[in-house]
Structure 1
Amino acid sequence: MSYCKQLGPKGKDKVIFATPEDHKIPSKIKLPDPEPQPGLILPNGDINWNCPCLGGMATGPCGVEFRNAFSCFHYSTADPKGTDCFDLFKTMQSCMQKYPTLYKKDLGDDDDLAEAMEASEKETAKLSSNNPDGDHK
C-alpha cells in the first residue's frame, strides 16, 4: 500500500511512495490541455525572440545585431518594407562573417531568415487589420 510523507520546510514537499500494485492500476489524473505556444509574433505585436522559427539567431555572438535588424524590419513603415534597415542588416552580416563556422550559410541567401521576415510582415499586416489604430503595445 502506498503512503505519503511531507518533507521540506513547513511540509511544502510531498513524497509519495508507491508499491508495484499501485502502478498496475491506470492513473485517474487528467492533465490540463497544454497552452498554445505563440509563434514569431506575440498577440501584442512584439517579436517572440524565443520562437524556434528563428533558429537561435537571436542569441549568440551576433544576437544583438540580428535583433536590431529584425526589429527594424518588423516595425518598418517604409515602402518597400525594411528599406530603412539596410545599415542594420549590413552590420549583422559583417558580424556573421566574423564567425564562419557558426554562420555557415551564404549570408546573402538565407532562406530561413527570409521566411521569418516574410512571416513577420504577414503577422504585422494581420495585427494591423485587427487594430486599425496601428498600436502594437
Structure 2
Amino acid sequence: MSLCKSFGKDKVIFATKEDHSTPSTVELPPPQPQPGLISEAGEINWGCPCLGGMATGPCGVEFRDAFSCFHYSEADPKGSDCYDAFKTMQDCFTKYPAVYNKSGGADDPDDNDMDLPDIEGMGETPENSTPSNEVEKKEN
C-alpha cells in the first residue's frame, strides 16, 4: 500500500515491496518522430542537431544565408546562383580556423584549404543534389 504526501508543488510517494511486485499499468504515448533538417512543409530546421552548431557558431549568419540560398535555389544546376553566399561563408570560416578546421590545426601557414562542413545534399534527394565541385575553392 502506497503512502502519498504533498509538499507544495512536490509529491512524495512511499512504495512498499508489494507495490512493485505487480507490473505497471501505465501506458506511455507513442514516440513522436524527431524533426529532421527539413520539415514536412519544406522549411529548414535550424535547431537540427545534424547541423552541429553551424547555424549558431561565429559564422552562423553566413552559414544560414548560404544554406538557405542552396535549399531554396531554383537555378539549374541547383545552387549555381549561390556562389557569392558560399564564398562569404568560406571567408568567414577562414577567420575561425579553430572552430571550422576539422583537421584540428594548420601545420602549414600557407595552407588556406579549410575543411568545409559537408552540407551537400542535406535535405535533398540524390536526384536533386548538387555535385560538390559546383562551388570551387579559390586557390592561392
TM-score where L is the length of structure 2: 0.70
Consecutive unaligned residues of structure 2, counting only runs of 5 or more, are 103-112, 129-140
Shift of 1:68: 1.0
Q: How does 1:74-93 map to 2 (within 5 A)?
A: 74-93=71-90
Consecutive unaligned residues of structure 1, counting only runs of 5 or more, are 126-137
Residues 8-43 of structure 1 show CA distances to partners (whole Å, capped at 9, x for unaligned) of: 3xxx65432223443343322121111011221101
Q: Which amino acid aligns with 1:31?
A: L
2:26 to 9, 24, 29: 29
Partners of 2:100 and 2:116 within 8 A in 1? no
Residues 30-77 of structure 1 show CA distances to partners (whole Å, capped at 9, x for unaligned) of: 211110112211011100112222222111111111111101110011
Q: Tell me how large the CA RMSD over aligned residues is.
A: 2.3
Deviates more, 1:89-98 or 1:14-23: 14-23
Shift of 1:84: 1.4
1:107 to 103, 111, 114: 114
Q: Distance in 2 between matches of 1:102 and 1:108?
A: 11
Paired residues, number: 117
TM-score where L is the length of structure 1: 0.71
1:2 equivalenced with 2:9 (yes/no): no
Identify the residue that residue 124 of structure 2 maps to in structure 1. 121
Kindly indicate which of the two structures has a greater share of residues assigned to helix. Answer: 1
Higher relative contact order (CA 8 A, sep 6+): 1
1:97 equivalenced with 2:94 (yes/no): yes
Shift of 1:80: 1.1
Q: Which amino acid aligns with 2:92?
A: C
What percentage of residue pairs aligned between the two structures are identical?
67
1:52 to 49, 53, 67: 49
Q: Which amino acid aligns with 1:2?
A: S
